[in-house]
Amino acid sequence: MAAAAVSGAKRSLRAELKQRLRAISAEERLRQSRLLAQKVIAHSQYQKAQRISIFLSMPDEIETDEIIKDIFRRGKTCFIPRYQFESRHMDMVRLASPEEIASLPRTSWNIPQPGEDEAREEALATGGLDLIFMPGLGFDRHGHRLGRGRGYYDAYLSRCEQHQRAKPYTLALAFREQICARVPVDEHDVKVDEVLYEDAP
């Protein structure tokens, strides 16, 4: 598939997925999020991981609150994304506690994240990550992911490969409605190791 065709296919699939996500009720969103939190907590990759990066959810994403609380309950180290909006650069910075989230400044996307000038431990500077929870708009059963088009996670994963010996395990969290027959991909798109959703095998 030519590059222009791939980007056109991604654009129309993004529009369709945004519509599908808007149609999910708040109750259904909470139901699937709770179910996935239980799946995550029982997952062997999660149980053995010590250094974990997780996204703070936007309204159209699986709610990650319960997982974040569990990370701290188990004494694991939690990192969250800090996006730089003018570039495609993202760091994973350490979160001190689940309670801290409420007091973080919000970005133009309305996502809480530590301020750019605030000194925080960055995951790759202190030993890398064992597990990265991946957000996205759509996924297929082969692990292909359709992001929001900015490439933050793909760039971060390639930095992980340069900075740490073992590649982190990547686990996507998805609503059933985000599972597609096939996600169009180009050579820059990084596959995720596993997509977790309600009916996942």
pTM comes to: 0.94
N-terminal to C-terminal alpha carbon distance within the chain: 29
On whether residue 69 sits in a domain, the answer given is yes
pLDDT surpasses 90 at 178: yes
On whether residue 22 sits in a domain, the answer given is yes
The whole-angstrom separation of Cα 87 and Cα 184 is 24
pLDDT surpasses 70 at 1: no
Provide φ and ψ at 26, rounded to 5°: -60, -40
Q: 191 and 143 in contact (C-beta within 8 Å)?
A: yes
Question: If you average pLDDT over residues 162-179, what whole number do you get?
Answer: 95
pLDDT surpasses 90 at 151: no
Q: 196 and 36 in contact (C-beta within 8 Å)?
A: yes
On whether residue 201 sits in a domain, the answer given is no
Number of domains into which the chain is organized: 1
Tell me the pLDDT tens digit for each residue of 48-77: 999 999 999 988 999 999 999 999 999 999
Tokens of 96: 């001190």
pLDDT surpasses 90 at 95: yes
- pLDDT score of 156: 94
CA distances for 105 relative to 81, 110, 111, 116, 119, angstroms: 13, 9, 8, 10, 14
pLDDT surpasses 90 at 131: yes
What is the rounded average pLDDT for all residues in the chain?
93
Provide φ and ψ at 64, rounded to 5°: -100, 0
Q: 183 and 144 in contact (C-beta within 8 Å)?
A: yes
CATH number at residue 22: 3.40.50.10420
- pLDDT score of 200: 85
Question: If you average pLDDT over residues 81-98, what whole number do you get?
Answer: 91
- pLDDT score of 18: 95
The strands making up 145-146's β-sheet, listed across from edge to edge, are: 145-146, 138-140, 179-180
Element spanning 92, H or E? strand 90-94
pLDDT surpasses 90 at 107: no
Q: 160 and 168 in contact (C-beta within 8 Å)?
A: yes
- pLDDT score of 149: 81
On whether residue 112 sits in a domain, the answer given is yes
Range of the domain at 185: 3-196
